[in-house]
């Protein structure tokens, strides 16, 4: 049944893709009978694992009642329940949830809400969104404009919005060549400098991934960074928007990555783990500061989508979150994440090519370098991370390559490892043995 050619416009037009057959727990099976340990959870999506019966049943039950109702005409009990459940795990003060269909839509909705907030607040000249280099916020034109991955922006550059970017916060590769804490958080202070340069009357919001996902996987800011960012935002009436599309709802070992830093954003967006791979969904969670102003002001959100809050989608996401909470998967991610990171470090850190092994919760990054002392990366043409990921795939383990530009936006590579939060030690051990072999094999065969 597998065709030799494809009518699908795949990401790679030359690769021969395996056909997925079924998936259960942390395993994915293809139609040739191969089994893979899913150490990527798809792409940090399948947080509760594949094929959870409770979720399938919840979707089925809702499907029998009503799959779709237009959000401007109806709300639904299941949509309301999901919003309440999301708020119950969100930072104190978060008040309402806007639903959409994925991460890019969520980010785009978040920055539109930020812009409308400034208009409602009587500051209509505030429209710019400051973001960071070496970040990823999605692939629509607006979200790509905010993202800081040059290789993905380059060909679309003429179509992008001109928005200011500041340097990333990454102590392994400090953009200022400084060391924490003597750096005095120069990378955070840069935000204030750029707000002043741009004109505070023009800046609506600052967006960041509190813990970096796909562009420098699992890079965690040092103590004080987010607090300082929060102070600067407050000083200039700039909304703090946190992109937690990857980290939101458990992956970092807390419900939200911001919970590690005792900082409350004005807006948070989530997506991947919210639907868990069962339904396509994203959300913006808005703080009461924002919601109250809308309520007192125009009373209307000038933004909507056809598929916002579809009952069948909400049923899936609600069951995923319920399952996450009932099975303590967020705490599990914190506890097992520490064990897994220790094992990953023990297996890899001494190998050639491995510059850094980092992680928080169930999000891990392995930075690959040609020289471990100077941290000089391999030329992108070697495709080191791609070769390692391919080796792993061919030996039954899914990890992700494609974390590129970690050194200077263009050069530098890392692997992304983001297993389901239910991963057991047995599978983890098996997977990192394969990964270790892969690193050694690729290193010995560099050409
Ligand atoms: C931090 C972050 N924001 C936004 C997105 C975009 O999400 P989507 O691919 O669902 O549009 C991603 C996807 O990887 C992401 O990691």
pLDDT in tens, the chain (447 residues): 677 789 999 999 999 999 999 999 999 999 999 999 999 999 999 999 999 999 999 999 999 999 999 999 999 999 999 999 999 999 999 999 999 999 999 999 999 999 999 999 999 999 999 999 999 999 999 999 999 999 999 999 999 999 999 999 999 999 999 999 999 999 999 999 999 999 999 999 999 999 999 999 999 999 999 999 999 999 999 999 999 999 999 999 999 999 999 999 999 999 999 999 999 999 999 999 999 999 999 999 999 999 999 999 999 999 999 999 999 999 999 999 999 999 999 999 999 999 999 999 999 999 999 999 999 999 888 999 999 999 999 999 999 998 888 888 888 999 999 999 999 999 999 999 999 999 999 999 986
Tell me the domains of the chain and their CATH numbers. 20-51+328-444 (3.90.1150.10), 54-326 (3.40.640.10)
Mutate-to-test residue for ligand 1 from 145, 210, 272, 276, highest number of ligand atoms within 8 A of CB: 272
Give the pTM.
0.97
CA of 135 to the centre of ligand 1 (A): 10
pLDDT at res. 404: 83
Task: Give pairs for 426-431: CB < 8 Å, separation 24+.
Answer: 427/26, 427/37, 428/39, 428/340, 428/343, 429/343, 430/37, 430/397, 431/37, 431/39, 431/392, 431/397, 431/399
Residue matched to tokens 């741009």: 198
pLDDT at res. 173: 94
8: tokens are 């699908």
7: tokens are 């009518």
- Torsional sign, CA 261, 289, 136, 397: positive
pLDDT at res. 406: 86
Is residue 208 within 8 Å of 131, Cβ to Cβ? yes
Q: Is 209 in the pocket of ligand 1 (CB under 6 A)?
A: yes
Mutate-to-test residue for ligand 1 from 246, 247, 281, 282, highest number of ligand atoms within 8 A of CB: 246
pLDDT at res. 113: 98
pLDDT at res. 316: 98
Q: Is 245 in the pocket of ligand 1 (CB under 6 A)?
A: yes
pLDDT at res. 440: 97
- CA 345 to chain centroid, in Å, comes to 23
CA of 85 to the centre of ligand 1 (A): 22
Q: Is residue 367 within a helix (H) or strand (E), and if so which, with residue range?
A: strand 363-368
- Torsional sign, CA 284, 274, 428, 343: positive
| 29 vs 24: CA distance, rounded Å | 8
pLDDT at res. 1: 62
pLDDT at res. 10: 95
pLDDT at res. 405: 86
Nearest alpha carbon, ligand 1 atom 8: 103
pLDDT at res. 323: 98
Is residue 346 within 8 Å of 436, Cβ to Cβ? no
**Coil, strand or helix at 278:** coil
pLDDT at res. 409: 85
CA of 288 to the centre of ligand 1 (A): 25
Ligand 1 atom with the smallest distance to the CA of 143 is 4
Is residue 244 within 8 Å of 166, Cβ to Cβ? no
């Amino acid at each position: 049944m597998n065709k030799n050619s494809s009518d699908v416009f795949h990401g790679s037009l030359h690769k021969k893709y395996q056909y997925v057959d079924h998936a259960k727990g942390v395993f994915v099976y293809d139609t040739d009978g191969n089994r893979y340990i899913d150490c990527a959870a798809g792409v940090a999506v399948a947080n509760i694992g594949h094929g959870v019966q409770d979720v399938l049943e919840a979707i089925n039950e809702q499907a029998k009642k009503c799959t779709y109702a237009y959000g401007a005409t109806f709300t639904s009990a299941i949509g309301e329940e999901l919003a309440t459940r999301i708020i119950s795990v969100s930072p104190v003060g978060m008040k309402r949830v806007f639903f959409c269909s994925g991460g890019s839509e969520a980010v785009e909705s978040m920055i539109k809400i930020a812009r409308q907030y400034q208009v409602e607040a009587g500051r209509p000249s505030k429209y710019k969104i400051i973001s960071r280099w070496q970040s990823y916020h999605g692939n629509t034109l607006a979200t790509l404009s905010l993202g800081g991955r040059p290789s993905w922006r380059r060909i679309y550059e003429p179509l992008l919005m001109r928005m200011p970017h500041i340097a990333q916060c990454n102590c392994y590769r400090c953009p200022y060549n400084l060391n924490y804490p003597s750096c005095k958080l120069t990378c955070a202070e840069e935000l204030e400098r750029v707000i002043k340069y741009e004109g505070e009357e023009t800046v609506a919001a600052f967006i960041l991934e509190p813990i970096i996902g796909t562009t420098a996987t699992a890079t965690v800011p040092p103590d004080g960074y987010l607090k300082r960012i929060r102070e600067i935002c407050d000083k200039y009436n700039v909304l703090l928007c946190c992109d937690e599309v990857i980290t939101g709802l458990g992956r970092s070992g807390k419900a939200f990555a911001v919970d590690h830093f005792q900082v409350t954003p004005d807006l948070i967006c989530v997506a991947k783990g919210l639907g868990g791979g069962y339904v396509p969904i994203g959300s913006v969670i808005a703080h009461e500061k924002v919601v109250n102003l809308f309520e007192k002001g125009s009373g209307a959100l000038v933004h909507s989508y056809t598929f916002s809050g579809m009952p069948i989608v909400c049923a899936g996401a609600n069951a995923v979150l319920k399952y996450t909470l009932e099975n303590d998967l967020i705490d599990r991610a914190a506890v097992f994440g520490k064990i897994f990171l220790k094992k990953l470090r023990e297996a890899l850190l001494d190998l050639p090519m491995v510059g850094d092994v980092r992680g928080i919760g169930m999000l891990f990054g392995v930075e690959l370098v040609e020289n471990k002392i100077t941290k000089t990366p391999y030329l992108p043409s070697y495709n080191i991370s791609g070769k390692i990921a391919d080796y792993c795939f061919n030996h039954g383990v899914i990890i992700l390559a494609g974390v590129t530009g970690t050194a200077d936006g263009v050069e530098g590579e890392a692997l992304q490892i983001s297993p389901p939060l239910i991963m057991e030690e047995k599978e983890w051990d098996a997977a990192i043995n394969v990964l270790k072999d892969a690193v050694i094999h690729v290193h010995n065969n560099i050409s």
